[in-house]
Structure 1
Amino acid sequence: MLHRILVRSVLLALAVLALAGAMSTLDYNWNWHVVWQYRELFLTGFVNTVLVSCGAIALGLCIGMAGGLARVSQNIWLREAATLYVWCFRGTPLLTQIYIFYFCFAVVVRVDNPFLTGMAVLAFFSGAYITEMVRAGIESIPEGQWEAARSTGLTHAQTLRHVVFPQAVRRIIPPVTGQFVSLIKDSSLLSVIAVRELTKGAEIVNAATYKTFEAYLPLALFYLALTYPLSALTYRLEKRINYQSVARGPSAAKPQGAAQ
């Protein structure tokens, strides 16, 4: 663990030194006081990014779970509706969806709030991907699990609820957590509809001071501060699940060998 941290620290230091060396060749008047001068704008953007991302994550998870269950439903109406939803939201760019939600849907339902509109479109966009993750997780469970549960008298819905879905959740968690990381980065596109998140704040600072580097380098650091913990959590979850799967394999195989 310490060895890995040391190697990463050295590589990061080398990257910073290389970047600093490249920038030192530029004829540019640095002024990092700009960051402190507009600190409230950066902090407000950071808080708004966290709020819109958390709201979209919670709503997107609900949509994705419902959509994933609908995708494996025996009801053809639910199954085809979920398939159409996934096809529409995964087949179009997020930026296009933001414009459609803000300039079309929000006007129809009379919601003049860019923050809520941005949260909704991020939720539906990420929900489409989570839907496919849930579907893939459920379908990855061996067919023998379904047959064994049905042989005990359980219905399709009961088998899904009590036997298959609990096992699928363990396989779904890592990719879903990774999707949350992508969602935080995708929230930067909400600046096009004037949501005061991090990217919009950096754009305002750049427009007011013409200090491009001082405006956007802190922006990158803020996003790293938000996404790195989730990325590390995803990695740890994957390792833990893989370790438990390997540890469970031999123990499950021993009784079979003894029976033979």
Structure 2
Amino acid sequence: MGASRSYTEQTIKQLFGLAAGRCAFPTCRRKIIFPATDLSSTTITGDIAHIVAFADAGPRSDGALSTKQKNDYDNLMLLCAACHRLVDGQPEEYPNDVLFAMKQNHLDWVDENLESQMRDIRFPELEVVCSRIIDTELASSTGFQTLPPAQKMVSNKLGPKTAKKITLGLMQAPLVADYMQSMVTHVDSEFPERLISGFRSEYDKHFEKGIRGDGLFALLELFASGGTADFDRQAAGLAVLAHLFQVCDIFETTVT
């Protein structure tokens, strides 16, 4: 039996989250993930594409790479079905270096759109994000210790790209704080604790699997946005995550 095109949960979530659930081809960038509704399940209309071919006889193949390396996040990109067929059908036009650059350019484009949308989020976007994160059961003590934000970055091995994301999200920290206070005053006095509990549960789930650093932050960012390809929801989710990163024990170093 040959090797399998199998991906870890972390790889899949990181791939879809960082690419904003969109095709990476620069003249396309259409949504390829549509979240579940009350009537339908989540639908994916695109593909996980290998940059260096998975099969030794495939386009852009490299027999020196192991199966694990071929299936890792660094060698994968999201493409709609049509663009995937194009790049594999014309590998001379789309060699490895072109596709690696295309993937990076797409990630930069996502960040630019997040930054643009961040300025426009308001309470309605925060409400949509928080309503799906909030935990009805308050979590017990997590064993976290409180650290200053800069020390959190170092202790959790968060790199420059994550630092940039946190800085971007903190543009709307006052808005998130106002929203949370409004919820405490008018709706639920335990709202902040329930919101934190929802994030803690997600953090613990991935932490227990050995996921750390930028990968873990990316998974929490995807969780906050609900896996949507809509930039307003992604911006709102990042704003909530960045605010909680700054003010409480989300994404801290465990006490040893």
Q: TM-score, normalised by structure 2?
A: 0.24
Q: TM-score, normalised by structure 1?
A: 0.24
Return the structure number with greater strand share: 2
Larger Rg belongs to: 1
